[in-house]
Structure 1
Amino acid sequence: MPRLPAAERREQLAEAAIRVMIRDGVAKTTTRAVVAEAGVPLGAFHYCFRSKEELFQTVIERIMERNLPPAGLAHPAGATPYERIRAILHAYWELVRTRPDEHLVTYEVTQYALRRPGLADLARRQYRHYLDVNRAHLESMARTAGLAWTVDLAVLARHGLGVLDGLTLTWLVDRDDEQALAALDEYARYLASVAVPLPAPDLPRT
Protein backbone atom coordinates (compact mmCIF):
# COMPACT_ATOMS: atom_id res chain seq x y z
CA MET A 1 0.00 0.00 0.00
CA PRO A 2 1.51 3.38 -0.96
CA ARG A 3 2.27 5.71 1.93
CA LEU A 4 0.26 8.92 1.45
CA PRO A 5 0.89 12.27 3.11
CA ALA A 6 -1.37 12.85 6.11
CA ALA A 7 -3.47 15.48 4.28
CA GLU A 8 -4.21 13.08 1.41
CA ARG A 9 -4.97 10.24 3.80
CA ARG A 10 -7.39 12.49 5.73
CA GLU A 11 -9.15 13.32 2.46
CA GLN A 12 -9.33 9.63 1.56
CA LEU A 13 -10.84 8.72 4.92
CA ALA A 14 -13.30 11.64 4.87
CA GLU A 15 -14.58 10.62 1.44
CA ALA A 16 -14.86 7.01 2.61
CA ALA A 17 -16.83 8.18 5.65
CA ILE A 18 -19.25 10.11 3.45
CA ARG A 19 -19.87 6.99 1.36
CA VAL A 20 -20.47 4.88 4.48
CA MET A 21 -22.81 7.49 5.97
CA ILE A 22 -24.84 7.66 2.77
CA ARG A 23 -25.03 3.89 2.45
CA ASP A 24 -25.42 2.76 6.09
CA GLY A 25 -26.39 5.85 8.09
CA VAL A 26 -24.40 7.95 10.53
CA ALA A 27 -25.07 5.72 13.58
CA LYS A 28 -23.43 2.78 11.80
CA THR A 29 -20.42 4.75 10.63
CA THR A 30 -17.73 3.24 12.83
CA THR A 31 -14.01 3.78 12.45
CA ARG A 32 -13.66 0.17 11.32
CA ALA A 33 -16.33 0.64 8.66
CA VAL A 34 -14.56 3.77 7.38
CA VAL A 35 -11.11 2.19 7.13
CA ALA A 36 -12.63 -0.88 5.47
CA GLU A 37 -14.31 1.37 2.90
CA ALA A 38 -11.05 3.24 2.32
CA GLY A 39 -9.03 0.02 2.16
CA VAL A 40 -6.52 1.12 4.80
CA PRO A 41 -5.46 -0.31 8.19
CA LEU A 42 -7.09 0.92 11.39
CA GLY A 43 -3.85 2.60 12.43
CA ALA A 44 -4.17 4.98 9.48
CA PHE A 45 -7.33 6.42 11.02
CA HIS A 46 -5.68 7.20 14.34
CA TYR A 47 -2.73 8.72 12.49
CA CYS A 48 -5.07 11.22 10.78
CA PHE A 49 -7.86 11.83 13.31
CA ARG A 50 -7.91 12.10 17.10
CA SER A 51 -11.50 10.80 17.27
CA LYS A 52 -14.52 9.82 15.24
CA GLU A 53 -16.07 13.18 16.14
CA GLU A 54 -13.15 14.98 14.49
CA LEU A 55 -13.77 12.90 11.37
CA PHE A 56 -17.45 13.85 11.42
CA GLN A 57 -16.52 17.55 11.68
CA THR A 58 -14.23 17.14 8.68
CA VAL A 59 -17.04 15.44 6.75
CA ILE A 60 -19.38 18.37 7.46
CA GLU A 61 -16.79 20.89 6.32
CA ARG A 62 -16.06 18.98 3.11
CA ILE A 63 -19.74 18.75 2.22
CA MET A 64 -20.19 22.48 2.84
CA GLU A 65 -17.12 23.42 0.80
CA ARG A 66 -18.27 21.65 -2.32
CA ASN A 67 -21.82 22.92 -2.08
CA LEU A 68 -20.98 26.60 -2.38
CA PRO A 69 -21.82 28.36 -5.66
CA PRO A 70 -18.91 29.12 -7.99
CA ALA A 71 -17.00 32.30 -7.30
CA GLY A 72 -17.14 35.09 -9.85
CA LEU A 73 -20.56 34.19 -11.27
CA ALA A 74 -21.10 36.33 -14.38
CA HIS A 75 -24.16 38.60 -14.61
CA PRO A 76 -25.70 40.10 -17.73
CA ALA A 77 -25.18 43.82 -18.21
CA GLY A 78 -27.89 45.84 -16.50
CA ALA A 79 -29.00 43.01 -14.19
CA THR A 80 -30.92 44.24 -11.16
CA PRO A 81 -29.76 43.42 -7.60
CA TYR A 82 -32.59 40.90 -7.37
CA GLU A 83 -31.55 39.20 -10.61
CA ARG A 84 -27.94 39.01 -9.48
CA ILE A 85 -28.79 37.58 -6.07
CA ARG A 86 -31.31 35.17 -7.58
CA ALA A 87 -28.71 33.83 -10.03
CA ILE A 88 -26.26 33.14 -7.20
CA LEU A 89 -28.91 31.41 -5.07
CA HIS A 90 -30.02 29.28 -8.00
CA ALA A 91 -26.41 28.22 -8.60
CA TYR A 92 -26.25 27.15 -4.95
CA TRP A 93 -29.56 25.32 -5.19
CA GLU A 94 -28.44 23.35 -8.22
CA LEU A 95 -25.61 21.96 -6.09
CA VAL A 96 -28.15 20.94 -3.44
CA ARG A 97 -30.21 19.11 -6.05
CA THR A 98 -27.21 17.22 -7.43
CA ARG A 99 -26.02 15.96 -4.00
CA PRO A 100 -29.13 15.31 -1.90
CA ASP A 101 -27.64 12.33 -0.06
CA GLU A 102 -24.77 14.43 1.27
CA HIS A 103 -27.16 17.05 2.63
CA LEU A 104 -29.20 14.33 4.29
CA VAL A 105 -26.02 13.17 6.00
CA THR A 106 -25.46 16.61 7.54
CA TYR A 107 -28.92 16.58 9.16
CA GLU A 108 -28.33 13.06 10.41
CA VAL A 109 -25.01 14.09 11.96
CA THR A 110 -26.79 16.86 13.87
CA GLN A 111 -29.41 14.49 15.30
CA TYR A 112 -26.76 11.88 16.10
CA ALA A 113 -24.69 14.41 18.06
CA LEU A 114 -27.60 15.98 19.95
CA ARG A 115 -28.88 12.59 21.14
CA ARG A 116 -25.58 11.38 22.58
CA PRO A 117 -24.17 12.63 25.89
CA GLY A 118 -20.91 14.44 25.38
CA LEU A 119 -21.37 15.00 21.65
CA ALA A 120 -23.54 18.13 21.72
CA ASP A 121 -20.46 20.25 21.04
CA LEU A 122 -20.13 18.53 17.67
CA ALA A 123 -23.55 19.92 16.69
CA ARG A 124 -22.60 23.36 18.04
CA ARG A 125 -19.37 23.36 16.05
CA GLN A 126 -21.33 22.20 12.99
CA TYR A 127 -23.72 25.14 13.13
CA ARG A 128 -21.00 27.64 14.04
CA HIS A 129 -19.26 26.47 10.89
CA TYR A 130 -22.49 26.90 8.92
CA LEU A 131 -22.84 30.46 10.23
CA ASP A 132 -19.25 31.27 9.30
CA VAL A 133 -19.71 29.82 5.82
CA ASN A 134 -23.02 31.63 5.32
CA ARG A 135 -21.49 34.92 6.42
CA ALA A 136 -18.57 34.44 4.02
CA HIS A 137 -21.03 33.51 1.27
CA LEU A 138 -23.04 36.71 1.85
CA GLU A 139 -19.84 38.75 1.71
CA SER A 140 -18.86 37.02 -1.53
CA MET A 141 -22.38 37.48 -2.94
CA ALA A 142 -22.24 41.21 -2.21
CA ARG A 143 -18.85 41.57 -3.90
CA THR A 144 -19.91 39.54 -6.93
CA ALA A 145 -23.19 41.44 -7.33
CA GLY A 146 -21.68 44.85 -6.55
CA LEU A 147 -23.84 45.37 -3.46
CA ALA A 148 -23.61 46.29 0.21
CA TRP A 149 -25.92 44.94 2.93
CA THR A 150 -27.93 47.33 5.11
CA VAL A 151 -28.53 44.68 7.80
CA ASP A 152 -25.91 43.59 10.33
CA LEU A 153 -24.03 40.76 8.66
CA ALA A 154 -24.14 38.45 11.69
CA VAL A 155 -27.93 38.78 11.82
CA LEU A 156 -28.25 38.34 8.07
CA ALA A 157 -26.09 35.21 8.18
CA ARG A 158 -28.24 33.64 10.91
CA HIS A 159 -31.43 34.56 9.04
CA GLY A 160 -30.05 33.11 5.81
CA LEU A 161 -28.96 29.91 7.52
CA GLY A 162 -32.46 29.44 8.89
CA VAL A 163 -34.02 30.02 5.46
CA LEU A 164 -31.66 27.82 3.45
CA ASP A 165 -31.49 25.09 6.09
CA GLY A 166 -35.27 24.93 6.25
CA LEU A 167 -35.70 25.01 2.48
CA THR A 168 -33.16 22.24 2.04
CA LEU A 169 -34.73 19.97 4.64
CA THR A 170 -38.23 20.55 3.26
CA TRP A 171 -37.04 19.75 -0.25
CA LEU A 172 -35.32 16.57 0.97
CA VAL A 173 -38.72 15.48 2.28
CA ASP A 174 -41.00 16.39 -0.63
CA ARG A 175 -38.59 16.96 -3.60
CA ASP A 176 -40.91 19.70 -4.88
CA ASP A 177 -38.55 21.60 -7.18
CA GLU A 178 -41.11 24.19 -8.25
CA GLN A 179 -42.04 25.23 -4.72
CA ALA A 180 -38.41 25.17 -3.58
CA LEU A 181 -37.35 27.56 -6.34
CA ALA A 182 -40.35 29.81 -5.70
CA ALA A 183 -39.39 30.04 -2.02
CA LEU A 184 -35.76 30.66 -2.96
CA ASP A 185 -36.87 33.53 -5.20
CA GLU A 186 -38.73 35.07 -2.26
CA TYR A 187 -35.52 34.92 -0.26
CA ALA A 188 -33.72 36.62 -3.15
CA ARG A 189 -36.34 39.39 -3.09
CA TYR A 190 -35.77 39.86 0.62
CA LEU A 191 -31.99 40.07 0.18
CA ALA A 192 -32.41 42.57 -2.65
CA SER A 193 -34.57 44.68 -0.34
CA VAL A 194 -31.76 44.95 2.22
CA ALA A 195 -29.01 45.63 -0.32
CA VAL A 196 -27.80 48.84 -1.90
CA PRO A 197 -25.61 49.15 -4.99
CA LEU A 198 -21.99 50.01 -4.36
CA PRO A 199 -20.90 53.29 -5.92
CA ALA A 200 -19.09 52.92 -9.23
CA PRO A 201 -15.32 53.26 -8.84
CA ASP A 202 -13.82 56.53 -10.02
CA LEU A 203 -12.22 56.17 -13.41
CA PRO A 204 -8.65 57.43 -13.80
CA ARG A 205 -8.42 60.80 -15.47
CA THR A 206 -6.76 60.92 -18.87
Structure 2
Amino acid sequence: MEGPGMTRVPSDERRAALIQAALAVIDRDGVSAATTRAIVAEAGMSLASFHYAFRSRDEMMRELIAFVVANEKRVTLAAVAPGTDIRTAVRAGLQAYFDLLVENPQREQALFELMNYSLRTPELDAVPAAQYASYFAAAGELLEYGALATGVTWSRPVQEVARILIAINDGYTLAWLADRDAVAAGRLMDFAADTIAALARPARPSPRPATPQEPQP
Protein backbone atom coordinates (compact mmCIF):
# COMPACT_ATOMS: atom_id res chain seq x y z
CA MET A 1 0.00 0.00 0.00
CA GLU A 2 1.29 3.43 -0.90
CA GLY A 3 1.79 5.88 1.92
CA PRO A 4 3.75 8.92 3.10
CA GLY A 5 7.46 8.52 2.70
CA MET A 6 7.23 5.76 0.10
CA THR A 7 8.82 6.08 -3.33
CA ARG A 8 6.46 7.74 -5.79
CA VAL A 9 5.39 5.36 -8.55
CA PRO A 10 5.72 6.83 -12.09
CA SER A 11 2.36 7.77 -13.61
CA ASP A 12 2.50 5.25 -16.47
CA GLU A 13 3.35 2.41 -14.07
CA ARG A 14 0.54 3.50 -11.76
CA ARG A 15 -1.95 3.50 -14.63
CA ALA A 16 -0.80 0.06 -15.82
CA ALA A 17 -1.12 -1.36 -12.30
CA LEU A 18 -4.63 0.03 -11.95
CA ILE A 19 -5.65 -1.39 -15.34
CA GLN A 20 -4.40 -4.83 -14.30
CA ALA A 21 -6.23 -4.50 -10.98
CA ALA A 22 -9.45 -3.49 -12.75
CA LEU A 23 -9.19 -6.50 -15.07
CA ALA A 24 -8.66 -8.78 -12.07
CA VAL A 25 -11.73 -7.38 -10.29
CA ILE A 26 -13.89 -7.59 -13.42
CA ASP A 27 -12.72 -11.12 -14.25
CA ARG A 28 -13.47 -12.27 -10.70
CA ASP A 29 -16.50 -10.23 -9.62
CA GLY A 30 -18.01 -8.57 -12.70
CA VAL A 31 -18.12 -5.01 -13.99
CA SER A 32 -20.56 -3.73 -11.39
CA ALA A 33 -18.08 -4.67 -8.66
CA ALA A 34 -15.24 -2.71 -10.32
CA THR A 35 -15.66 0.44 -8.26
CA THR A 36 -12.72 2.76 -7.81
CA ARG A 37 -12.42 1.60 -4.19
CA ALA A 38 -12.35 -2.07 -5.21
CA ILE A 39 -9.77 -1.39 -7.91
CA VAL A 40 -7.36 0.52 -5.68
CA ALA A 41 -7.76 -2.14 -2.98
CA GLU A 42 -6.84 -4.81 -5.56
CA ALA A 43 -3.83 -2.72 -6.66
CA GLY A 44 -2.72 -1.99 -3.08
CA MET A 45 -2.99 1.74 -3.65
CA SER A 46 -4.81 4.63 -2.03
CA LEU A 47 -7.95 6.16 -3.51
CA ALA A 48 -5.97 9.33 -4.17
CA SER A 49 -3.65 7.27 -6.39
CA PHE A 50 -6.55 6.45 -8.70
CA HIS A 51 -7.46 10.11 -9.15
CA TYR A 52 -3.81 10.96 -9.69
CA ALA A 53 -3.65 8.43 -12.55
CA PHE A 54 -7.11 8.88 -14.13
CA ARG A 55 -9.50 11.80 -14.35
CA SER A 56 -12.51 9.49 -14.07
CA ARG A 57 -13.70 5.90 -14.07
CA ASP A 58 -14.79 6.45 -17.68
CA GLU A 59 -11.22 7.28 -18.69
CA MET A 60 -9.91 4.18 -16.94
CA MET A 61 -12.50 1.94 -18.66
CA ARG A 62 -11.49 3.37 -22.04
CA GLU A 63 -7.84 2.60 -21.33
CA LEU A 64 -8.76 -0.88 -20.12
CA ILE A 65 -10.53 -1.56 -23.41
CA ALA A 66 -7.56 -0.19 -25.38
CA PHE A 67 -5.23 -2.49 -23.43
CA VAL A 68 -7.29 -5.61 -24.15
CA VAL A 69 -7.81 -4.75 -27.82
CA ALA A 70 -4.10 -4.00 -28.32
CA ASN A 71 -3.21 -7.43 -26.92
CA GLU A 72 -5.74 -9.17 -29.18
CA LYS A 73 -4.45 -7.23 -32.19
CA ARG A 74 -0.84 -8.17 -31.40
CA VAL A 75 -1.70 -11.89 -31.15
CA THR A 76 -3.79 -11.82 -34.32
CA LEU A 77 -1.18 -9.95 -36.36
CA ALA A 78 1.46 -12.47 -35.34
CA ALA A 79 -0.67 -15.27 -36.81
CA VAL A 80 -0.77 -13.75 -40.31
CA ALA A 81 2.06 -15.20 -42.38
CA PRO A 82 3.20 -13.04 -45.33
CA GLY A 83 3.03 -14.82 -48.67
CA THR A 84 -0.08 -16.87 -47.92
CA ASP A 85 -3.52 -16.33 -49.47
CA ILE A 86 -6.04 -13.99 -47.88
CA ARG A 87 -8.48 -16.74 -46.86
CA THR A 88 -5.74 -18.59 -44.98
CA ALA A 89 -4.55 -15.36 -43.40
CA VAL A 90 -8.03 -14.40 -42.18
CA ARG A 91 -8.67 -17.90 -40.84
CA ALA A 92 -5.34 -17.91 -39.00
CA GLY A 93 -6.12 -14.54 -37.42
CA LEU A 94 -9.55 -15.73 -36.29
CA GLN A 95 -8.04 -18.86 -34.79
CA ALA A 96 -5.45 -16.84 -32.90
CA TYR A 97 -8.22 -14.71 -31.40
CA PHE A 98 -10.28 -17.81 -30.56
CA ASP A 99 -7.32 -19.45 -28.83
CA LEU A 100 -6.97 -16.32 -26.71
CA LEU A 101 -10.70 -16.49 -25.93
CA VAL A 102 -10.46 -20.13 -24.82
CA GLU A 103 -7.43 -19.33 -22.69
CA ASN A 104 -9.25 -16.56 -20.83
CA PRO A 105 -13.02 -16.59 -21.48
CA GLN A 106 -13.68 -14.29 -18.52
CA ARG A 107 -11.88 -11.46 -20.32
CA GLU A 108 -14.23 -11.41 -23.33
CA GLN A 109 -17.24 -12.03 -21.12
CA ALA A 110 -16.18 -9.00 -19.08
CA LEU A 111 -16.00 -6.84 -22.23
CA PHE A 112 -19.53 -7.80 -23.25
CA GLU A 113 -20.67 -7.15 -19.70
CA LEU A 114 -18.88 -3.80 -19.70
CA MET A 115 -20.74 -2.68 -22.80
CA ASN A 116 -24.15 -3.69 -21.43
CA TYR A 117 -23.40 -2.21 -18.01
CA SER A 118 -22.20 1.04 -19.59
CA LEU A 119 -25.38 1.35 -21.64
CA ARG A 120 -27.33 1.40 -18.37
CA THR A 121 -24.93 3.67 -16.48
CA PRO A 122 -25.10 7.42 -17.25
CA GLU A 123 -21.52 8.11 -16.15
CA LEU A 124 -20.26 5.48 -18.62
CA ASP A 125 -22.67 6.10 -21.50
CA ALA A 126 -19.85 7.08 -23.86
CA VAL A 127 -17.94 3.84 -23.30
CA PRO A 128 -19.87 1.50 -25.68
CA ALA A 129 -19.28 3.70 -28.74
CA ALA A 130 -15.61 4.07 -27.82
CA GLN A 131 -15.36 0.34 -27.22
CA TYR A 132 -16.67 -0.57 -30.66
CA ALA A 133 -14.71 2.21 -32.34
CA SER A 134 -11.57 0.56 -30.99
CA TYR A 135 -12.75 -2.85 -32.28
CA PHE A 136 -13.45 -1.46 -35.75
CA ALA A 137 -10.12 0.38 -35.85
CA ALA A 138 -8.18 -2.73 -34.81
CA ALA A 139 -10.04 -4.88 -37.35
CA GLY A 140 -9.32 -2.30 -40.05
CA GLU A 141 -5.61 -2.36 -39.27
CA LEU A 142 -5.59 -6.16 -39.36
CA LEU A 143 -7.42 -6.22 -42.69
CA GLU A 144 -5.04 -3.69 -44.22
CA TYR A 145 -2.06 -5.68 -42.98
CA GLY A 146 -3.57 -8.92 -44.28
CA ALA A 147 -4.21 -7.37 -47.69
CA LEU A 148 -0.65 -6.10 -47.91
CA ALA A 149 0.79 -9.44 -46.75
CA THR A 150 -1.22 -11.46 -49.29
CA GLY A 151 -1.25 -9.11 -52.28
CA VAL A 152 -4.94 -8.22 -52.40
CA THR A 153 -7.16 -5.17 -52.10
CA TRP A 154 -10.65 -4.93 -50.62
CA SER A 155 -13.63 -4.56 -52.97
CA ARG A 156 -15.47 -2.55 -50.32
CA PRO A 157 -14.16 0.19 -48.02
CA VAL A 158 -12.03 -1.42 -45.35
CA GLN A 159 -14.19 0.19 -42.64
CA GLU A 160 -17.21 -1.76 -43.96
CA VAL A 161 -15.27 -5.02 -44.09
CA ALA A 162 -14.08 -4.38 -40.53
CA ARG A 163 -17.69 -4.01 -39.33
CA ILE A 164 -18.65 -7.28 -41.03
CA LEU A 165 -15.69 -9.02 -39.41
CA ILE A 166 -16.50 -7.70 -35.94
CA ALA A 167 -20.19 -8.62 -36.29
CA ILE A 168 -19.32 -12.22 -37.16
CA ASN A 169 -16.63 -12.32 -34.50
CA ASP A 170 -19.08 -11.16 -31.83
CA GLY A 171 -21.54 -13.83 -32.95
CA TYR A 172 -19.30 -16.85 -32.56
CA THR A 173 -17.72 -15.43 -29.40
CA LEU A 174 -21.10 -15.14 -27.67
CA ALA A 175 -22.16 -18.55 -28.96
CA TRP A 176 -18.99 -20.19 -27.65
CA LEU A 177 -19.30 -18.46 -24.28
CA ALA A 178 -22.81 -19.91 -24.07
CA ASP A 179 -22.18 -23.51 -25.17
CA ARG A 180 -18.36 -23.98 -25.29
CA ASP A 181 -18.75 -25.86 -28.58
CA ALA A 182 -15.35 -25.43 -30.24
CA VAL A 183 -16.34 -27.50 -33.29
CA ALA A 184 -19.30 -25.22 -34.03
CA ALA A 185 -17.08 -22.18 -33.46
CA GLY A 186 -14.59 -23.59 -35.94
CA ARG A 187 -17.30 -23.90 -38.59
CA LEU A 188 -18.33 -20.30 -38.00
CA MET A 189 -14.71 -19.19 -38.32
CA ASP A 190 -14.49 -21.08 -41.63
CA PHE A 191 -17.62 -19.26 -42.80
CA ALA A 192 -16.18 -15.93 -41.65
CA ALA A 193 -12.91 -16.57 -43.48
CA ASP A 194 -14.80 -17.48 -46.67
CA THR A 195 -17.04 -14.41 -46.37
CA ILE A 196 -14.22 -11.96 -45.77
CA ALA A 197 -11.96 -13.51 -48.42
CA ALA A 198 -14.78 -13.15 -50.97
CA LEU A 199 -14.51 -9.38 -50.52
CA ALA A 200 -10.86 -9.38 -51.63
CA ARG A 201 -9.46 -9.16 -55.14
CA PRO A 202 -5.92 -9.35 -56.47
CA ALA A 203 -4.05 -6.09 -56.19
CA ARG A 204 -3.08 -4.48 -59.45
CA PRO A 205 0.68 -4.49 -59.95
CA SER A 206 2.30 -1.11 -59.82
CA PRO A 207 2.93 0.22 -63.32
CA ARG A 208 6.55 -0.20 -64.35
CA PRO A 209 8.32 2.96 -65.37
CA ALA A 210 8.87 3.33 -69.08
CA THR A 211 12.28 2.23 -70.24
CA PRO A 212 14.25 5.20 -71.52
CA GLN A 213 14.92 4.98 -75.24
CA GLU A 214 18.48 4.65 -76.36
CA PRO A 215 19.75 7.87 -77.87
CA GLN A 216 19.88 7.75 -81.63
CA PRO A 217 23.38 7.94 -83.10
The normalised TM-score by structure 2 is: 0.85
2:189 pairs with 180, 184, 198, which one? 184
Unpaired stretches in structure 2, ≥5 consecutive residues:
1-5, 212-217
1:24 to 16, 21, 29: 29
More divergent stretch after superposition (141-150 vs 12-21): 141-150
| Structure 1 residues without counterparts, runs of 5 or longer | none
What amino acid sits opposite 2:31 in the alignment?
A: V
Question: What is the Cα deviation at residue 117 of structure 1?
Answer: 2.8
Quote the residue 2:119 is aligned against: 114
Q: How big is the shift at 1:91?
A: 1.9
Q: What amino acid does structure 2 have at the position aligned with 1:121?
A: A
Q: 1:23 to 1:47 in 2, by over 3 A?
A: same
Once the 2 structures are TM-superposed, how far is the Cα of residue 202 of structure 1 from its aligned partner? 8.5
Query: 1:96-131 CA distances to partner (integer Å, 9 max, x unpaired)?
Result: 222211101101111111112343211111112221
Distance 1:147 1:102 in 2: 33
Identity, in percent, stands at 36
- Match of 1:14? 19
Query: 1:201 offset after TM fit, Å?
Result: 6.8
For residues 191 and 51 of structure 1, what CA distance do their matches in structure 2 show? 38
| Partners of 1:90 and 1:143 in 2: CA distance | 20
Q: State the match for 1:43 in structure 2.
A: 48
Q: Is residue 148 from structure 1 mapped to residue 148 from structure 2 by the alignment?
A: no
For residues 16-165 of structure 1, what are the structure 2 equivalents within 5 Å? 16-68=21-73, 69-71=76-78, 73-74=80-81, 79-165=84-170
Aligned counterparts of 2:90 and 2:128: Cα–Cα separation in 1: 29
Q: Taking structure 1 as reference, are residues 48 and 149 closer, same or farther at Cα in structure 2, changes over 3 Å only?
A: same
Q: CA offsets, 1:124-151, max 9 Å, x none?
A: 1111222112211211221222221111
Give the length in aligned residue pairs.
Answer: 203
CA distance in 2: counterparts of 1:184 and 1:41, whole angstroms: 45
- What is the RMSD computed on CA atoms of the aligned residues? 2.1
5 Å-filtered alignment, 1:160-171, equals: 160-171=165-176
Preserved contact between residue 20 and residue 33 of structure 1 (Cα < 8 Å): yes
